[in-house]
Structure formats: structure tokens, C-alpha cells
Amino acid sequence: MKIKEQEYLENYDITKYERPSIATDMVVFTIVEDKEESNYRKLSDKHLKVLMIQRGQPPFQNMWALPGGFCKSTETVYEAAKRELKEETNADRAHLELCGVFSDQGRDPRGWIISQAFMALINNEVVRVRAGGDAWEAKWFRVSLKKIQETSEKGENGGSCINTYRLELNCDEICLWAVVSEELLYEDYHASVEYKLIDSEGIGFDHGKIITYVLKKLRDKVEEDGKIVFDLLPEVFTLSDLQKAFEIILDKPFLSPNFRRKISKYVIETEHTLTGGGHRPAKLFRRNVEEFYR
């Protein structure tokens, strides 16, 4: 017996089924120089930072959490992420990318709330973080992620490999941290990866896990194709700036001649230079858009 489509839809009651709320959580990265160097010759020290917001109300009142919010039925998840980013940072243009879904039971004490985690990369020139009122304060935290343990086992048909990471977020005197494990299990030639939040201080929800996950994803992406790094820099930049950005993200040094060769086709020289340091002025470059998007 066929049911008529029209009739079916009229009788379909979506509210009969259990539904979650959908939230976006934005892991917004930027690169900022913390302070002027005391030595006039040296370049200022730069850091990868992530935007956090101090919660003005429960749950996790007074703790720090990722910016984000609930999705509305009139927008796509991606549009919601864009709206949140605009609200929090005033950034219109950014690298914006869905990184994963976090839906563990009990991750939010308010109920069944599924988080769509986004990575956003913005350059600090466009940023204007919302002023901290009484209720919600936004701050950029310096990010550090270090592997603190590595165990690996091997059995008959498979094995496991557990990496434990410590995430630290610093801003002024505030120090937040989380310990997150990455469990790689393989059995009969099939692997699965699972992230678990072991412990966390000062960070609300499972956001320590989300930040760790997204940061690792950022590193993977930069390792395999560095084009997104440009989204962390202003429109014009020196090659040292660019190299430094790679080094900060991947936490390893590059040899500048090789680095220059590798990225040369993605940049175009401008006629400007950056003077002022006690050393040879650096040429300013911009992206070679042709090579970027093909």
C-alpha cells in the first residue's frame, strides 16, 4: 500500500522524536606578537593564540570556554559558524572549516547538545574582540600542546597506541590546562582513533578536548599543504613572518633558504619593504592568488 507523499508529510510530526540542540564551537586561532623586544635588533616574539570567553552564567560559570552558540533553523551550520565568528571577532573573512562533531553523552549538563567544532583562522589586524562587559569577557590565550606520554602495545592481530597530551592556555596571569588522550586502536587491520578528556582546569565543557583535536588538525593540514597559514597573516607580510608562522604552528624550525624556495610560487613581491629593525630591510610580499586557487 502506497502512502501519498502529501498526506504523509501532513501527518508527520517531527516533535514526536527526540531531538538535540545543535551548537557551534569556534576554535579561533590567530598569531600575535606579545610585546616589543627589548633588543632593538631582534624581531618581536610571536605566538599562536586561541580566543576564549569567560562564562557569565552556568553551566561552568566563571570558567573559560570556546565562543559559539546555537544554530537556528533559518541558517545552515556553516552560516551559524560565520555569524558567531563575526559577532565575536568582527572578522568577515577567515578560513572557516568544520573539523568534527562532539556528541558524547553528558558533555553539556543542560542536556543533549551536539557541538559542531569549527576551525577559524584570522589575521590579528581584522580582529576586534568584543569588549568584556560584566558577564562575558573575551581574551586571547597563548596555546601550547605537548605530548607528555606515549605508550604502544602490540598483540596478535593488532595493538594500540596511546598518546597523552597536555594543552596549556595562557593569558596574563591566567593559566588553563587540559590533559587529553588520543587512543589509536588497530585490530584485524582496521584502526580507530578516539580522543578522551582526562582532566581539565579552568576550561568548561569538553572544550579542552575540542581545542586539542582542532589544533592537531591544524598541524596536519599545515604539514600537508601550508596554504591555510596565509590566513593567519595580514595581506602583506615578510617571508620571515610567514616562516615564523609555520614554525609556530608545527613547532619545528625551517632553514630559510629551503623555506623560501618551497613557498616562492605562492607569493608575489611588492615594491615595499619593512625597515626599522637594526638589520637589512625585508621585502613585503603578498599572496600569488593565481597559484592558490586553481
Q: Comparing C-alpha atoms, which of 223, 226, 214 is closest to residue 180?
A: 214
Q: CA 265 to CA 262: how far, in whole Å?
A: 7
Binding mask 41-80 for DNA (x = CB under 7 A): xxx-------------------------------------
H-helix or E-strand spanning residue 80: helix 77-89
Q: CA 246 to CA 257: how far, in whole Å?
A: 14
Which listed range, 122-130, 170-178, 181-189, 254-262, lies at the site for DNA (CB under 7 A)? 254-262
- Is the Cβ of residue 154 or residue 252 nearer to a copy of itself in the bound state? 154
93 binds DNA (CB under 7 A): no
136 contact, one of DNA, a copy of itself, none, CB 5-8 Å limit per kind: none
Q: CA 10 to CA 155: how far, in whole Å?
A: 56
**Positions marked catalytic:** 137
Closest approach of Cβ 238 to DNA, in Å? 5
Q: Comparing C-alpha atoms, which of 93, 110, 125 is closest to residue 237?
A: 125
230 binds a copy of itself (CB under 8 A): yes
- Is the Cβ of residue 76 or residue 273 nearer to a copy of itself in the bound state? 76
- Give the interface size with DNA as a residue count (CB under 7 A): 25
Q: Which three cell numbers stand for residue 254?
A: 625551517
Between the CA of residue 41 and those of 159, 247, 279, 281, what are the distances in Å?
Answer: 52, 20, 7, 11
103 binds DNA (CB under 7 A): no
- One of 22, 127, 274, 282 touching a copy of itself (CB under 8 A): 22
Phi-psi region of 34 (alpha: psi -120 to 50; beta: other; left: phi over 0): alpha
Residues that bind DNA (CB under 7 A): 39-43, 238-240, 255-258, 260-262, 273, 275-283
